[in-house]
Structure formats: structure tokens, C-alpha cells
């Protein structure tokens, strides 16, 4: 009798857990936010600086997302406000932009884990790294992995812009078009 009761409780807990996992993988909309680490295209050089002052290139993002399911495959468009920080030659600079990634993903391991990738469009509101006259639009790509628990999702992403730029700070040039934003993003989302 105890074995049957124990098996019934375990089955009930598994059913509740699986049902709550499907909540985030179902279609709908929600809000998201998180932290991002900007490397300005120099991850190996910046890795040394992380130990000394890790907050110098740490930013954040806030936004909205929608999700449309087609079986195990999904489409997830987003609109985010992103704040990037950059430290170059001991100068702290800030970039603010609107990002619109359009991600296509697939659910793995049932509803719990997903992988995704897609293009991301960027509109620069303010960029202290560049002169007043600069192209306000850019594009890039994102890819990552997500964990879904109920209406809560956690994801880790990599992003890189496609078009490089020239930056002049204290008469030090980063090159002719080689300077590209790239970042690691850790995000938390809540689906309604």
C-alpha cells in the first residue's frame, strides 16, 4: 500500500512539473529583463579586466516579447531597451539602443529546455563611442539556450552586430570597421 501511495505521489508531482513547464513554452506574450556583458569585440583582452573591475562593461536590458508555437518549433519576436557600458582606455562610455530580435527556436527535453537563434535589428538612441553623425541602424544575430519553469524562463544568449565601426577615443583608433559590439546576455522572462 505504501509503495502504491508513493508511486501515485511521484506521478502527480511529475505531471504538475511537466504541466508547469509547458506554460512558458506555450504561445503568448510577456516581459523580460536581465544583465548583459559587453566586450566590444575583445573577449580575450577583456577577460583580464573582468577580475580587476567586472562592473565596467556590465549593462542591462528590459523589454517585451511574444511567442508563437508551431509544435516543438516556436517564433519569438522581442522589443528591448538595452543599455551597454564600455571601458576603453580607462574611459567609461555608455550606449543606449532599442533591439528587436526575431528568434526561431526548438523545444528540447520536452518543455524544459530550448535552443534558439535569429537576427536582431538595432536602433541607437545614444552612443558615446561615436561622433554625433553616425548610422542609427545596425543589425546582428543572437543565439542561445533557455530553461523554462512554469511561466518563468531563464536564458543565456550571445549577440554580435554585423557592421563594424571606427571609434576614436583619446586619439586611439580601434581600426577601420573592426569594432563590433558583442555581448553575453542573461535574461529572466515572465509570460502572462
Return all residues near 10 (Cβ < 8 A) that are at least 6 apart: none
pLDDT tens digit string along 107-162?
Answer: 998 778 999 999 999 998 988 776 666 678 889 999 999 998 988 999 999 998 88
Other beta carbons within 10 Å of 13: 10
- pTM metric for this prediction: 0.74
Cα–Cα–Cα angle for 140, 130, 161, nearest 5°? 10
Alpha carbons 167 and 59: distance in angstroms, whole number: 20
- The two beta strands, 113-127 and 73-88, are unpaired
Please measure the distance between the N-terminal and C-terminal CA atoms of the chain and give it in whole angstroms.
41
pLDDT tens digit string along 53-82?
Answer: 667 788 999 999 999 988 889 999 999 999
At 77 the three-state DSSP class reads strand
> What residue has cell string 536582431?
120
Amino acid at each position: 500500500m505504501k509503495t502504491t501511495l508513493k508511486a501515485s505521489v511521484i506521478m502527480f508531482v511529475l505531471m504538475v512539473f511537466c504541466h508547469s513547464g509547458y506554460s512558458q513554452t506555450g504561445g503568448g506574450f510577456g516581459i523580460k529583463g536581465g544583465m548583459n556583458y559587453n566586450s566590444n569585440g575583445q573577449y580575450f583582452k577583456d577577460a583580464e579586466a573582468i577580475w580587476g573591475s567586472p562592473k565596467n562593461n556590465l549593462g542591462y536590458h528590459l523589454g517585451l516579447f511574444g511567442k508563437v508555437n508551431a509544435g516543438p518549433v516556436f517564433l519569438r519576436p522581442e522589443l528591448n531597451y538595452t543599455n551597454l557600458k564600455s571601458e576603453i582606455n580607462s574611459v567609461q562610455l555608455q550606449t543606449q539602443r532599442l533591439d528587436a530580435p526575431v528568434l526561431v527556436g526548438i523545444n528540447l527535453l520536452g518543455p524544459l529546455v530550448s535552443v534558439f537563434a535569429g537576427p536582431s535589428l538595432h536602433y541607437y538612441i545614444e552612443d558615446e563611442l561615436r561622433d554625433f553623425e553616425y548610422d542609427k541602424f545596425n543589425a546582428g544575430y543572437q543565439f542561445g539556450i533557455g530553461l523554462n519553469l512554469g511561466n518563468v524562463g531563464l536564458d543565456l544568449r550571445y549577440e554580435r552586430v554585423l557592421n563594424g565601426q571606427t571609434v576614436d577615443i583619446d586619439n586611439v583608433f580601434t581600426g577601420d570597421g573592426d569594432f563590433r559590439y558583442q555581448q553575453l546576455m542573461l535574461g529572466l522572462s515572465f509570460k502572462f
